[in-house]
Amino acid sequence: MIGKDKIILLTGAAGFIGSYLLGFLNKQGFENIIIADEFDEEDKWFNFDSKEFMAKVEREALFNWLEENKPAISFVFHLGARTDTTEFDYSIHEKLNVAYSKNIWNYCVSGNVPLVYASSAATYGSGELGYLDNHELVEKLHPLNPYGVSKNEFDKWALHQTKQPPFWAGLKFFNVYGPNEYHKERMASVIFHSFNQIRSTGKVKLFKSHRPDFKDGQQLRDFIYVEDVAKVCHWLMDNNVPSGLYNLGTGKARSFEDLAKATFAAMGKAPLIEYIDMPEDIRDKYQYFTEANMSKLKNSGYTEEFYSLEEGVSDYVRNYLLQKRYY
């Protein structure tokens, strides 16, 4: 168990999941947190400006800063990454998601510091091999975009390392949604886009299916509320579990139609859904079904129930989006 006086390093702290985890850790009594990210984007400032932390370091300066200041870090959450699935220049993902993560890993090895980092369900590609967080499958996976490739390349690299942090976990995030994603624009969750469409037009536009085995709106994803992600991250900090890759979804796939209806319900409106063609640039790289096999995390001792889609969407819409609040 990490004491409240210990120092935590959190990368990606200005982003969606990172800023939420920062607020969650604050609520648990942790304030000795070094946050790292690119802090020059004004639309991210509200994500972190009201939270408690001991130092704020630009991403590019982090390792020099650590060398100069030598803080006694007790735990690292590495959530910083380029997450744009429509960015097809792999060199960008290689630099930010692979090379930078290797530097984080090596820092944790040299300092004997436990590490939790963000992997992704995008590593599973079209899901032809299933969604089991089995280390034997990692070399066989075929992600559909450069982002997914970069995440899988780092997972593969981590599994081959003989020098490892005292504990490490790569969390394969499925479809995370919730507060603090206002800045993400096209890459924000479908809940966020649905809310804004309903408010401005009274209806939601969903992608048509371009596969005969899926009806329009019945494409399935494992949607997980960001509160559950933060709970698991905190739990991993306090419990002795085996190192390795862990899925992080709810284990229950739901349709985009279900999601849209839950958003309408949270806004107190009758559902009105229109189906549109999927953009051609993502059509052959689109996942029609994702569902996390959560047995590994549960077998390691995690017993908390996850938010249902309806519970999570209701909380997000009513307590944050309708009030333009941040967590």
Q: What is the pLDDT of residue 87?
A: 67
Segment 89-117 shows an average pLDDT of 93
Q: Which two tokens stand for residue 133?
A: 């967080």
Q: Which residues contact 227 (CB under 8 A, 6 or more apart)?
A: 20, 24, 178, 307, 312, 315
Tell the residue number behind the tokens 């139609």, with chain if given: 257
Q: Which amino acid is at 311?
A: E
Which backbone phi and psi does 93 adopt, to 5 degrees? -65, -35
Q: What is the pLDDT of residues 262-276, one digit of tens each?
A: 999 999 999 999 999
Quick one: pLDDT at residue 290? 92
Query: Which residues are marked as active site?
Result: 147, 184
Confidence of residue 2 (pLDDT cuts 50, 70, 90): confident
Angle at 93 between CA 92 and CA 99, to 5 degrees: 100
Which pLDDT tens digit goes with each residue over 200-248?
A: 999 999 999 999 999 999 999 999 999 999 999 999 999 999 999 999 9
Is residue 124 within 8 A of residue 131, CB to CB? The reply is yes
pLDDT in tens, 50-80: 999 999 999 999 999 999 999 999 999 999 9
Q: Please tell me the distance from the alpha carbon of residue 287 to that of residue 101, in angstroms, as a whole number.
A: 25
> What whole-number percentage of the chain has pLDDT above 70?
98
What's the token pair of residue 267? Answer: 């806004």
Residue 300 confidence (pLDDT) above 70: yes
Q: What is the 3-state secondary structure (H, E, C) of the chain?
A: CCCCCCEEEEECCCCHHHHHHHHHHHHCCCCCEEEEECCCCHHHHHHHCCCCCCEEEEHHHHHHHHHHHCCCEEEEEECCCCCCCCCCCHHHHHHHHHHHHHHHHHHHHHHCCCEEEEEEHHHHCCCCCCCCCCHHHHHHCCCCCHHHHHHHHHHHHHHCCCCCCCCEEEEEECEEECCCCHHHHHHCCHHHHHHHHHHHHCCEEEECCCCCCCCCCCCEECEEEHHHHHHHHHHHHHCCCCCEEEEECCCCCEEHHHHHHHHHHHCCCCCCEEEECCCHHHHCCCCCECCCCCHHHHHCCCCCCCCCHHHHHHHHHHHHHCCCCCC
**CATH for the stretch 7-177+223-251+291-306:** 3.40.50.720
